[in-house]
Chain A
């Protein structure tokens, strides 16, 4: 019997992205640059996160004209963002043939209590998380891929590092626990027990885990890979840099060879300026995107 949209097919799609870089793009031209530089997928957006931050107001699903333009421009997978809890935006993106949906805190949440029931969809979802409990809640709702939230649009890696380190430390702790301790830990983390049990047995998340939210340089990408990321999302970091094509290529190479420091040095030379960053303490707590999601 033929089955579409199974958990294996949805998670498998994310497995194929491992070791790769997923790049934010706002038009066909940027999508082609990303593809030519070796991106494994592109995220079609109306604005990159740093511009969303600057524009303020309510950020919604992208103009569908842009999504369609990007779908037609490249042969690699195309992702797009829906607001947290906005299952109609997600259904619309699914109907257009988008390959992966990011239920994203970069957009203004549409529901302040619930995320989308992602199990109902044929298209797979990626969601942001800051710790193991949040990651397992999203997976419990049907997410097929997790990424750190970091702090989007800042070009500042510190939050992504914190989220990845937190998640990895919690995974190690759960793995080392005795079975007796798991239920209490599930309660502490706010995580579904069965998924926590899987983490205990395997010592890893049940789905692929990418880094996102602040990656701006090749060295940032390599750092996140060494901390345990399966791959990297780069949002504003590429097309807000001085030389997007070179930056894109360099970040792809540094993600593949993340322990080869001579190679990272070589690809990082003469890149020009990365995007201008923002110190996290300069962002009011209410304006921090990572606080969105529950």
Chain B
């Protein structure tokens, strides 16, 4: 199973390491041609404004919409979740708009409010270590999306078919369960 990590900016190396540990072959993706061979893709944490600008510049917007519409799974963490969302609070436009969720950026506050907490994530575990850094949260999900985790009544993990979005950073932990969950999704959609 070959999984790409969009490598325009952000915590790319951490996702590559976690995906390898979870049992996949993981490669960084800087050019659209590199999407062809992949079974799934991770949109990493980083600055969503920066990543989005570079995605536009290098043709990733259309290429990733096709990738998603071809049924290939995409996992967005933090900035990646913002990139996937159909709606962003306070903005008229969105980035990829593949996943029927509405997100609010920096919704937990600035860096000094950033935190970590152990919390349950459905299908993943009851004690998942979640690291929130200037994190967004998911305000609403569409009717086909499923809520996998909430923190203080705010949705922080959601899944819609082959799309998975997390407001926190599974790549900053040593816990591979979220990545394994994603790889199971990839297996499911590959068959």
Which residues of A pack against B, CB within 8 Å? 1-6, 8-9, 12-13, 15-20, 35, 37-41, 75-77, 94, 97, 99-100, 122-124, 252-253, 256-257
* A contact residues around B118 at 8 Å (CB): 1
Partner of A19, one of B46, B105, B110: B46
Q: Is B7 an interface residue (CB 8 A)?
A: yes
A-B contacts, 6 listed (Cβ < 8 Å): A13-B134, A19-B7, A19-B8, A40-B46, A40-B47, A256-B54
A16 to chain B, nearest CB (A): 5
Q: Is B25 an interface residue (CB 8 A)?
A: no
With the chains together, A123 CA to B118 CA distance in Å? 21
Q: Known A-B contacts: A13-B133, A16-B10, A97-B112. Give 15 more (CB < 8 A).
A: A3-B116, A4-B112, A5-B114, A6-B116, A8-B116, A9-B114, A16-B45, A18-B11, A19-B12, A35-B49, A40-B47, A99-B111, A99-B112, A122-B112, A252-B53
A123 to chain B, nearest CB (A): 5
B115-130 residues at the A interface, CB under 8 angstroms: 115-118
Interface size class of B (residues with CB under 8 A): 35 or more
Partner of A38, one of B30, B54, B79, B115: B54
Q: Is B78 an interface residue (CB 8 A)?
A: yes
Partner of B112, one of A15, A41, A123: A123
Query: Which partner residue on chain B sits nearest A259 by CB separation?
Result: B30
B188 to chain A, nearest CB (A): 30
Given A15-B14, A16-B11, is A1 in contact with B117 using a C-beta cutoff of 8 Å? yes
* A contact residues around B106 at 8 Å (CB): 75
Q: Are A41 and B47 within 8 A (Cβ)? A: yes
* A contact residues around B49 at 8 Å (CB): 35, 38, 75-76
With the chains together, A1 CA to B172 CA distance in Å? 18
Query: Which partner residue on chain A sits nearest B9 by CB separation?
Result: A19
Encode contact with A along B27-47: 1 for CB under 8 Å, 0 otherwise: 000100000000000000111
With the chains together, A199 CA to B106 CA distance in Å? 33
With the chains together, A183 CA to B177 CA distance in Å? 38
With the chains together, A48 CA to B112 CA distance in Å? 25
Q: Is B95 an interface residue (CB 8 A)?
A: no
Can you list the 8 inter-chain pairs with the closest CB atoms, starting with the nearest? Answer: A99-B111, A19-B9, A40-B47, A38-B53, A15-B11, A12-B172, A4-B115, A38-B50
Given A13-B133, A16-B133, A256-B30, is A40 in contact with B50 using a C-beta cutoff of 8 Å? yes
Partner of B47, one of A2, A16, A122, A256: A16
Q: Is B179 an interface residue (CB 8 A)?
A: no
With the chains together, A172 CA to B9 CA distance in Å? 26
Q: Is B139 an interface residue (CB 8 A)?
A: no
B128 to chain A, nearest CB (A): 14
Q: Are A77 and B30 within 8 A (Cβ)? A: no
Q: Are B54 and A4 within 8 A (Cβ)? A: no
B79 to chain A, nearest CB (A): 7
B63 to chain A, nearest CB (A): 16
- Among A6, A8, A19, A40, max chain B CB count under 10 A is at A19
Q: Is B169 an interface residue (CB 8 A)?
A: yes
- Among A18, A99, A124, max chain B CB count under 10 A is at A18
